[in-house]
Amino acid sequence: MPDRARTKVTVATEWHRGPIDDRLFGSFVEHLGRCVYTGIYEPDHPTADAWGFRGDVAALVQELGVTLVRYPGGNFVSGYDWRDGIGPRTERPRRLDLAWRTIESNQVGTDDFLQWAARVGVEPMMAVNLGTAGIREAAELVEYCNLERGTTLSDLRRQHGAESPYGVRLWCLGNEMDGPWQIGHKTADEYGRLARETGHAMRLVDPSIELVVCGSSGAWMDTFGSWESTVLDHAWDVADYVSLHAYYEETGGDRASFLASGAAMDRFIEDVVATVDAVAARKRSRKRLRLSFDEWNVWYQSRYADPQHSPIDEAAPRLEDVYGTVDAVVVGDLLMSLVNHADRVAIGCLAQLVNVIAPIRTDPGGAAWRQAIFHPVAETIRRARGRRSLIVGVEGGELATAQHGDVPEVAAAATHDPVSGQITVFLTNRADTVVPVDVRHGGVATWRRARASTVVADERGPLHDAAAAGTARPVELTRAVTQDGVTRLDLPPRSWTVLDAVE
């Protein structure tokens, strides 16, 4: 292969964006399908703990390494009364959830979730209902969760067994309020004002909380851009973060566009950064709002009927996508986009955690297993948590895609741990041919050894069981050779690779 055909990837530990926030590697539990019931919670399961939560699922959540979990929705939160989910389980009401047209038994609620999160070791990120509820319910939920004692609600929490306040820091002001499907959907002016007033009241209860205002439900929304601008005009002073949501899928057999989903995510993030910085400029504010990408994943949304017209069920399977290696490659690429924007994106939530478009699946009463997308998530978190995000130079070819225009053929991201000297370079080959790559350390230091492992998109289609999902575990790329500080490797077609080196 002549030299000019090689893609050149350069990293240097001197060029970095600063530390990656631990919160970038979160996930999401919604009262939807079997995410909660027979997902994280199943009191009759053989592995259930004293509180009725599945031990096998908790172990996989810890192995996955997610740092934060958003709860209780999603669309669900826009019709949810948090008071239904507290107190003795036998007294909790059975309600009709209109977001997903299901019966909600309320056997899991705020206390149950927050205590599970503490046991599993993840930070909770709570969402408040700004669809059918408002300022009072939101402020009272903060009081129930975070106030020490001496009021009816804080004492009620203590009566329910939680003597110490939970100290929940992170709160979402509603969910996808720009979407006409949302219960209590609002215009940007209506939502912006409500978010401001609600955030203000919640902060009067606990001034230490951090608030996420709803951005757009996707870059495809007609109101994208103007929604963020108008909402932030109203809610600038209370907002610490603005949210982004995006789901990617392969449509019409257009695998090239699907494999370039990371480039679409890059663009979305950069467009939101430009929009929120324009608001800052207009307001002559020095605040640099950070982004909360609190729903992202591959979701084969077009395969499902509109949930708002489906028959009413209870904790039945919904949105249980089965993922293959091609999805694992795309999820790896999307994680690289988050790492490459770690200076502005502080929070990320892989949606969702169990059964519903999830890395973990379960059988009721039976096994829990890793889906194909589990592997890139776990491998990335292991190599990015607590590290810095490096600025990576890529000189290579471009690919034409129908949906995203020309995108880099090879995408790259890198992390560095200044204490141990460990560097990881993540590489996606979006092309359907082998791409030869030279990876070098362009700074003062260099590396002598590097080890690469790869996931290759399997063209045979989705993988259906625990054993098959194992094929999405990265395997060592034996032909990675390091000489004079340059690692030469051939990236297989449609693959995601991690290259570990030590300075």
3-state class (DSSP) for residue 105: coil
Q: How far is the first Cα of the chain from the last one, in angstroms, to the nearest whole number?
A: 29
Return the number of the residue (73 or 131) whose C-beta is nearest ligand AHR.
Answer: 73
398 sits in which H/E element: strand 398-401
Cα–Cα distance measured from residue 195 to residue 162, given in angstroms and rounded to the nearest whole number = 29
Q: How far is the CB of 245 from ligand AHR (least distance, A)?
A: 6
Return the number of the residue (74 or 474) whose C-beta is nearest ligand AHR.
Answer: 74
Which residue number has the CB closest to ligand AHR?
74
Binders of ligand AHR among 347-366, rule CB under 6 A?
351-352
Cα–Cα distance measured from residue 488 to residue 474, given in angstroms and rounded to the nearest whole number = 18
Catalytic annotation present for 476: no
Q: Shortest CA distance to 248 belongs to which of 232, 266, 228, 230?
A: 266
Q: Which of 30, 104, 140, 176 is catalytic?
A: 176
Cα–Cα distance measured from residue 71 to residue 40, given in angstroms and rounded to the nearest whole number = 12
Q: Shortest CA distance to 113 belongs to which of 132, 130, 127?
A: 127
Cis bond leading into 301, ω under 30°? no
Please work out, in degrees rounded to the nearest 5, the angle formed at the alpha carbon of residue 24 by the alpha carbons of 69 and 275.
Answer: 110
Q: How far is the CB of 175 from ligand AHR (least distance, A)?
A: 5
Return the number of the residue (355 or 415) whose C-beta is nearest ligand AHR.
Answer: 355
Q: How far is the CB of 221 from ligand AHR (least distance, A)?
A: 11
199 is a contact residue toward ligand AHR (CB under 6 A) = no
Return the number of the residue (240 or 295) whose C-beta is nearest ligand AHR.
Answer: 295
454 is a contact residue toward ligand AHR (CB under 6 A) = no
Binders of ligand AHR among 55-74, rule CB under 6 A?
73-74
CB of 64 closer than 8 Å to CB of 346: no
250 is a contact residue toward ligand AHR (CB under 6 A) = no
Other C-beta atoms within 10 Å of 59: how many?
13
Contact letters for ligand AHR, residues 201-230 (x by CB under 6 A): ------------------------------
Q: How far is the CB of 383 from ligand AHR (least distance, A)?
A: 26
Return the number of the residue (220 or 284) whose C-beta is nearest ligand AHR.
Answer: 220
Binders of ligand AHR among 271-310, rule CB under 6 A?
295
The DSSP string of 313-375 is: BSS---S-PPP-HHHHHHHHHHHHHHHHTTTTEEEEEEE-SBSSS-SEEE-TTS-EEE-TTHH
Catalytic annotation present for 295: yes
Look at the alpha carbons of 289, 180, 83, 194 in this order and tell me if their dihedral is positive or negative: positive
Q: How far is the CB of 75 from ligand AHR (least distance, A)?
A: 4
104 is a contact residue toward ligand AHR (CB under 6 A) = no
Cα–Cα separations (whole angstroms), residue 160 to 89, 110, 323, 466? 11, 11, 40, 39
Looking up tokens 């041919």, which residue turns up?
433
Q: How far is the CB of 218 from ligand AHR (least distance, A)?
A: 8
Please work out, in degrees rounded to the nearest 5, the angle formed at the alpha carbon of residue 97 by the alpha carbons of 93 and 98.
Answer: 145
CB of 341 closer than 8 Å to CB of 19: no
Binders of ligand AHR among 26-55, rule CB under 6 A?
30
Binders of ligand AHR among 455-494, rule CB under 6 A?
none
Q: Which of 42, 295, 379, 409 is catalytic?
A: 295
3-state class (DSSP) for residue 357: coil
- Reported residue count of the chain is 503
Q: How far is the CB of 99 from ligand AHR (least distance, A)?
A: 7
Among the listed residues 175, 257, 401, 429, the single contact to ligand AHR using CB under 6 A: 175
How many residues touch ligand AHR (CB under 6 A)? 9
165 is a contact residue toward ligand AHR (CB under 6 A) = no
Binders of ligand AHR among 71-90, rule CB under 6 A?
73-75
The DSSP string of 70-100 is: EES-SGGGGG--GGGGSS-GGGPPPEEETTT
Contact letters for ligand AHR, residues 105-134 (x by CB under 6 A): ------------------------------
- Decide the pairing of beta strands 393-395 and 7-11: antiparallel
Residues that bind ligand AHR (CB under 6 A): 30, 73-75, 175-176, 295, 351-352
Residues with a catalytic annotation lie at 176, 295
